[in-house]
């Protein structure tokens, strides 16, 4: 039986440890599973011979929890957990959440807002000038000056506010080992500047030559064009082949980001996932009923990282990167066999995926030498002519998984790129996906139907979805199964006007889709879409972008996705009249809503929910750390699968 890492002095004594080398502080409850970033980092360090302890969700209002493991020999390592603490706490409407899937018992309030900053400030106050390194999603996506939706302002790099010494961005197995070895060799943390995949602050005189320079913090805070330019520079150098060092001045200090760390090789990735994880939450949480976040990933397998889909509202490109890295077939099968031995396994593997389940190879071979094309997308608005589509290897893995003794079903839940799938001339994967790996509903993400909005999202036009939809139902009918597509849809994304929202309503009506929940665009740090939301500019063209920002218009766009609900009737009528679409008011089949004033006046609750009561999904796939972006533009943490939130949308 694998052991959890020390969480108290008694655990240290049992292991004969007087002093830990590293203490990891996290905003999540302690779950030792490879879909949780802190679990991977802690096990990687342990594998290299370092003594590691975990402080999970310390009470930031006192010193006690931060002191319970003593002073680490080398450094504190700090993360907010699998998702950004502000996303964990607030909906897209900035309403406080009442639960937290990454906390024991699902209770909210166990971590502070801006957890990385608060934890680091506590450590600095208690331990003085001790080395502090930060990582994970919250730190990674806030490494430059960034628009903060909750403050509605541009904040400096999180390195400034946290007073940490070094930031590891992206998937950080390489960085943490190099940093640990450097500290062990006697280097000061301030001297660690030559490792890929880190950020640090330095005096401007020490700025490295040949770097790509972003407009400085004061400029991006005052000038939205400067902010958009900085966003493009940051994205243009997020490639391990040609990415340069990127710098951005913050007052008297220079922020330096070294080029991205190299992706793990297949051999390295296999090793990371073979480490002795306990694969569950710490037993100290049994009294609270466990940690809900483990349920989605406990019996899921990550087979890849990265996503060349590169949607604008998703942070994966800036966090994991666009290059695909993968585990070997043998490694995936070995993990599946391990799952069958676990006490709670009922025969169902919930997912075999990652940020995008059906990406197993590079989008084209030339990127291995030259990197992924700067400023371009592999799949949108049309698939690149150089795109190489092949599901053979992935299909082979799924076939072998199905044959493992003790496995009843293998599902795919972390997202299928249908626009990539329909380009495969061989239908075998799609046929077997539908026959064996769908549990009645397959979730896909067209996001919208308006070409204008989809272009701003970085998604393919709706024609690709129509092709996939027809093919899906043709195959489903051919095997005599009743299965449905559940499309993820988003309201109020930059570029979306009320006319676009009405166009989406007509699309939903045409396809008899009745979403039970609606996803508002959530402007989380680090995405291109968030840049557009703040600046009202497209950072790649510098052209103006229409952005719905008022609560009233967001409520209108949200209501149009649920035009069929009685409580939204008044809002829908208001929208249709406002944009001059009275032809859609009435009782004919083409209409969206009937104008029934007497009933409307008699119903005091009409429109009550048009402001979008009910929780908006937030990341989560996600890209949380489930390797997914969260649907709303937040890639989730370090690794793993099953990155989409389950929004319960049904087709009727």
**Structural domain of 362:** 296-565+609-651
Using the predicted structure, report yes or no on whether residue 626 has a pLDDT greater than 60.
no
Same domain, 301 and 253: no
Nearest to 18 by CA among 9, 28, 30, 26: 9
- Answer yes or no: pTM beyond 0.85: yes
Same domain (yes/no): 357, 251 = no
State how far the alpha carbon of 383 is from the alpha carbons of 242, 278, 419, 460, in Å.
23, 41, 8, 8
Res. 615 pLDDT band, cuts 50 70 90: very low
Both tokens assigned to 496: 């979306």
- Is the pLDDT at 634 greater than 60? The verdict is no
Domain assignment present for residue 584? The answer is: no
**What pLDDT is attached to residue 597?**
52
Last residue of a domain, one of 207, 232, 257: 257
Per the structure, the count of domains in the chain is 2
Mean pLDDT for all residues in the chain: 91
Task: Measure the CA angle with vertex 135, ends 358 and 150; round to 5°.
Answer: 90
- 287 inside domain: no
CATH at 553: 3.80.30.20
pLDDT score, position 415: 86
CA dihedral 463→436→631→566, nearest 10 degrees, is 80
Q: Which of 201, 227, 257 is the last residue of a domain?
A: 257
**Residue 598 pLDDT:** 52
pLDDT of 614 > 50? The answer is no
Residue 18 has pLDDT above 80, yes or no: yes
- Among the ranges 516-520, 573-577, 637-641, which has the highest mean pLDDT value? 573-577
Mean per-residue pLDDT for 543-560? 96
**Residue 75: CATH number of its domain:** 3.40.50.280
Q: Residue 282 falls within a domain, yes or no?
A: no
Whether residue 629 has pLDDT greater than 60: no
Whole-number Å distance between alpha carbons of 583 and 577:
9
**Residue 252, exposed/middle/buried by CB under 10 A (0-12, 13-18, 19+)?**
exposed
Q: Are residues 213 and 315 in the same domain?
A: no
Per-residue model confidence as pLDDT tens digits over 417-456: 999 999 999 999 999 999 999 988 999 999 999 999 999 9
Residues 304, 253 share a domain? no
Rounded to whole angstroms, the Cα distance separating 154 from 87 reads 17
Note whether residue 599 is domain-resident.
Answer: no
- Are 165 and 46 members of one domain? yes
Q: Is residue 577 part of a domain?
A: no
438 lies in a domain?
yes
Residues 32 and 166 in one domain: yes
Residues 245, 177 share a domain = yes
Residues 619 and 497 in one domain: yes
Q: Which residue has the higher pLDDT, 439 or 591?
A: 591
Q: What is the pLDDT of residues 169-219, one digit of tens each?
A: 999 999 999 999 999 999 999 999 999 999 999 999 999 999 999 999 999
pLDDT at 595: 84
């Amino acid at each position: 039986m694998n052991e959890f890492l020390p969480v108290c002095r008694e655990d240290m004594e049992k292991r004969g440890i007087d002093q830990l080398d590293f203490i990891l502080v996290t905003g999540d409850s302690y779950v030792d599973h490879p879909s949780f970033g802190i679990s991977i980092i802690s096990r990687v360090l342990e594998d290299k011979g370092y003594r590691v302890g975990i402080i999970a969700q310390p009470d930031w209002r006192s010193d006690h929890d931060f002191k319970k493991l003593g002073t680490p020999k080398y450094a504190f390592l700090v993360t907010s957990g699998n998702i950004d603490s502000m996303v964990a706490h607030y909906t897209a409407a900035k309403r406080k959440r009442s639960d937290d899937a990454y906390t024991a018992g699902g209770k909210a309030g166990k971590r502070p807002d801006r957890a990385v900053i608060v934890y680091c400030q506590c450590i600095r106050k208690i331990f003085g000038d001790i080395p502090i390194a930060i990582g994970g999603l919250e730190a990674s996506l806030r490494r430059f000056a960034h628009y903060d939706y909750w403050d509605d302002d541009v904040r400096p790099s999180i390195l400034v506010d946290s007073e940490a010494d070094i930031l590891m961005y992206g998937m950080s197995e390489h960085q943490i080992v190099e940093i640990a070895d450097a500290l062990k060799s006697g280097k000061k943390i301030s001297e660690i500047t030559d490792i890929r995949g880190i950020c640090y602050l330095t005096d401007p005189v020490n700025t490295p030559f040949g770097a790509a320079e972003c407009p400085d913090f004061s400029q991006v805070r005052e000038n939205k064009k400067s902010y958009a330019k900085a966003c493009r520079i940051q994205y243009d150098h997020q490639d391990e082949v040609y990415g340069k060092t990127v710098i951005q001045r913050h007052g008297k200090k220079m922020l330096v980001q070294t080029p991205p760390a190299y992706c793990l090789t297949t051999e390295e990735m296999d090793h990371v996932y073979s480490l002795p994880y306990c694969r569950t939450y710490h037993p100290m949480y049994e009294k609270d009923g466990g940690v809900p976040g483990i349920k989605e990933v406990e019996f899921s397998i990550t087979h890849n990282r990265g996503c060349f889909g590169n949607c604008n509202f998703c942070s994966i490109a800036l966090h994991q990167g666009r290059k695909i890295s993968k585990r070997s077939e043998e490694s995936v099968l070995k993990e599946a066999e391990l799952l069958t031995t676990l006490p709670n396994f009922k025969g169902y593997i919930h997912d075999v995926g990652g940020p995008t389940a059906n990406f197993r190879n590079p989008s084209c071979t030339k990127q291995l030498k030259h990197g992924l094309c700067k400023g371009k997308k592999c799949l949108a608005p049309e698939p690149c002519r150089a795109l190489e589509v092949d599901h053979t290897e992935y299909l082979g893995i799924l076939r072998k998984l199905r044959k493992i003794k003790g496995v009843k079903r293998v599902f795919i839940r972390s997202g299928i790129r249908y626009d990539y799938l329909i380009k495969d001339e061989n239908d075998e994967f799609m046929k077997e996906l539908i026959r064996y790996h769908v549990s009645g509903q397959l979730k896909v993400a067209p996001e919208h139907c308006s070409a204008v909005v989809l272009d701003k999202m970085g998604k393919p036009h709706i024609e690709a979805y129509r092709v996939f939809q027809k093919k899906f139902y043709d195959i489903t009918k051919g095997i005599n199964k009743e299965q449905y597509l559940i499309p993820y849809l988003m309201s109020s994304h930059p570029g979306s006007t009320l006319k676009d929202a009405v166009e989406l309503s007509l699309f939903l009506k045409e396809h008899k889709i009745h979403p039970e929940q609606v996803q508002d665009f959530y402007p989380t740090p680090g995405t291109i879409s968030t840049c557009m939301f703040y600046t009202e500019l497209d950072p790649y063209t510098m052209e103006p972008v229409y952005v719905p920002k008022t609560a009233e218009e967001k409520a209108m766009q949200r209501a149009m996705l649920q035009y069929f609900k009685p409580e939204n009737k008044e809002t829908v009528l208001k929208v249709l009249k406002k944009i001059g679409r009275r032809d859609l008011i009435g009782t004919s089949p083409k209409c969206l809503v009937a104008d029934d004033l007497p009933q409307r006046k008699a119903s005091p609750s009409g429109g009550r929910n048009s402001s979008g009561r009910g929780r908006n999904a937030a990341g989560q796939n996600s890209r949380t750390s489930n390797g997914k972006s969260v649907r709303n533009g937040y890639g989730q943490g370090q690794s793993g699968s099953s990155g989409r939130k389950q929004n319960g949308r049904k087709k009727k």
